[in-house]
Structure 1
Amino acid sequence: MTTAIVGVGNIGSAVARHLVAGGETVVLAAKSPAGAEQLADRLGPLAHAASVEDAITEADTVVFAVWLDTMRELLPQVSSRLAGKVVIDPSNPIAFDEQGRMVRSLPAAQSAGSVVAALLPADAHYAKAFGTLAAEALAANANRTPQRAALFYAGDDERAADAVERLIRTAGFDPVRAGGLADAGRIEAPGGDLHQAGFDGEVVTADQARAAVDARR
């Protein structure tokens, strides 16, 4: 199996590093080809760089590790290549005000997941995942002992759910389903009760995560 990671910033590079450490083949793409090539060189033979279009074509699953506004521009350009693919979206509806404070970029009732899902072809398989921890926590908590850290995901598509669970485990975390697409906002920041920020910064275990899914409904 091959996973494409579009975007090699803090989230994308952490996901790529963890997946390669777990034995996954990854193809990296970014606005700056040099950044993707440099990361691929550091990760070794299981990673290589390609254009966004070629990475999507080559992969079974595509992780769009880019800002929501970037995804809004990019997805219509590559939509035809996403037919039949599993698409994983870590985005959060984050913006910054004039004082540099984090604010929501969407109305309270709208999730980034609903925005992204609406931009995909009907036969794409969508799930929201890999955005429930801050980048630093995501980078630092793979294969934690004695209990792995949990990563929440959300989505209605069972093929996507199977793919996401496999990748989360490969990356060194335990997957916990927060619900369907209607629940995507719960695992987004700011405001999501199942995002790391909703746990006051704590990185929870799978048992804690499952309890929170039910208790906080």
Structure 2
Amino acid sequence: MTTAIVGVGNIGSAVARHLVTGGESVVLAAKGASRAEELADELGPLAHAASVRDAIAGADTVVFAVWLDTMRELIPQVAPLLDGKVVIDPSNPIAFDEKGRIVRSLPEGQSAGSVAAALLPANAHYVKAFGTLAAEVLAANANRTPRRAALFYATDDESAAATAERLIRAAGFDPVKAGGLAAAGRIEAPGGDLHQFGSDGEVVDLDQARAAVNDAHP
């Protein structure tokens, strides 16, 4: 099984490192090919670099580790290649105001997950995952002891759920389902109560995460 990671910024690089450490094969792609090649060389034989189209075509699962606006442009260009594949979306509806403060890029009540899922071909298997912790926290908390950190995911698709759980575990975290696509907003920032930023920066373990899912949304 191979996972394509499109985008090798902070989130994409962290996911790639964790998956390779967990024994998963990854193919890396980015707008700037040199960065993907450098990271693949760093990660060793389980990683290689390719063009975006070749990475997607050769993978079973695709992680779009890019900004939501980039996803809106990119997915329609590669949509035929996504047919039948699991698509993992870590995006958050984040923008910055004129003072550099984080603000929502979408209207209240609309999630980045609903936007991304609507872009996909009907036979793709969508799951929101790997975006519930800040990039530096995601990078630093794999295989935490004595209790692993939890990562939330959201999907209505059983195949996507199974893949997300396998990859989250391989990456060194415990998977916790927040719900279906309708729950995607709960695990996004800003505003999601299950996102790290909605939990006052806390990185929760499995029991804490399960309890939080069952709490009423504020």
Same fold per TM (> 0.5)? yes
**Which residue of 1 is the match for residue 156 of structure 2?**
156
In the TM superposition, 1:134-213 aligns within 5 A as: 134-213=134-213
- TM superposition shift of 1:146: 0.3
Q: Say whether residues 1:67 and 2:67 are aligned partners.
A: yes
**Which residue of 1 is the match for residue 131 of structure 2?**
131
- TM superposition shift of 1:162: 0.1
Q: Distance in 2 between matches of 1:215 and 1:67?
A: 29
**Which residue of 1 is the match for residue 100 of structure 2?**
100
**Which residue of 2 is the match for residue 24 of structure 1?**
24
AA aligned opposite 2:137: A
| Percent identity between the two aligned chains | 81
**Which residue of 1 is the match for residue 56 of structure 2?**
56
- TM superposition shift of 1:216: 2.7
AA aligned opposite 1:10: N
- TM superposition shift of 1:152: 0.1
Q: Say whether residues 1:122 and 2:122 are aligned partners.
A: yes
Matched length: 217
In the TM superposition, 1:26-41 aligns within 5 A as: 26-41=26-41
AA aligned opposite 2:7: G
Q: Distance in 2 between matches of 1:132 and 1:51?
A: 27
- Output the TM-score relative to the length of structure 1: 0.99
- TM superposition shift of 1:198: 1.1
Structure 1 residue runs of 5 or longer lacking an equivalent are none
Q: Distance in 2 between matches of 1:79 and 1:216?
A: 36
- TM superposition shift of 1:215: 1.4
Q: Distance in 2 between matches of 1:35 and 1:116?
A: 25
Q: CA RMSD in A?
A: 0.4
2:88 counterpart SS class: strand
1:107-153 residue CA offsets vs partner (Å, 9 max, x unmatched): 01100000000000000000000000000100000000000000000
AA aligned opposite 1:136: E
Structure 2 residue runs of 5 or longer lacking an equivalent are none
AA aligned opposite 2:125: H
**Which residue of 1 is the match for residue 10 of structure 2?**
10
Q: Say whether residues 1:86 and 2:101 are aligned partners.
A: no
Could you list the structure 1 runs, at least 4 aligned residues long, displaced by more than 4 angstroms after superposition: none
AA aligned opposite 2:195: H
